[in-house]
Amino acid sequence: MASADAGPHWRPTVLDLVSRLQLGSAAPFGLAIQLAGLLLVTGVATWVAFAAHHRRARVASGLFAALAAARLALGIVAEPILDLDLSPRVSASTLAGTWRDGRERLVLRGDGTFALEGATPAAGRWRLDGDELDLSGRPARVIGVRDGLRIVPSFPEDPDLWDGDLGFARDVP
């Protein structure tokens, strides 16, 4: 039997899934290398699908080309779908409330205190400085996504190093 926490309020949204499909890398020319690699794999697999003499090789190459092309297309459309704002203008009063990321729940109270429930429970004081959120020494960042604001714990200083995890979304009762 499912627990009360297993309800739809914590399941990943389409935006959470799409965020993992973004193309990008912190490596120099990382995005260009990813695009070129996916285009090359798609082209070679398509060529093999048409040039192969064995039916199984043609089918396998065709499927591989289709998967590479789909990955490329999803990577390209992920950014406009997400409509990310890595530096939104927010106020502390805007953030007060309950936020959820999977089975973790973050409650930001208007008096500047917070409670984090889940795998690593914590409590203390929170403070907003621009788009940076300090949870008693634990850094987080507030970002804007198409569906509203998100709180991303441990957001790297270099956004190119970000893994795409959208973090906590406002909990809808």
Helix axes 55-82, 30-51, angle to 10 degrees: 150
Q: Which residues, 6 or more positions from 139, have their beta carbon under 8 angstroms from its beta carbon?
A: 132, 133, 153, 154, 155
pLDDT of res. 152? 92
H or E element: which one contains 126? strand 122-129
Cα separation, 132 vs 143, in Å, equals 9
pLDDT of res. 163? 78
pLDDT of res. 27? 60
pLDDT of res. 142? 94
Q: Which residues of the chain have pLDDT under 50?
A: 1-10
- pTM of the prediction? 0.68
Burial letters 70-90, b for 16+ CB under 10 A, else e: ebbebbeebeebbebeeebeb
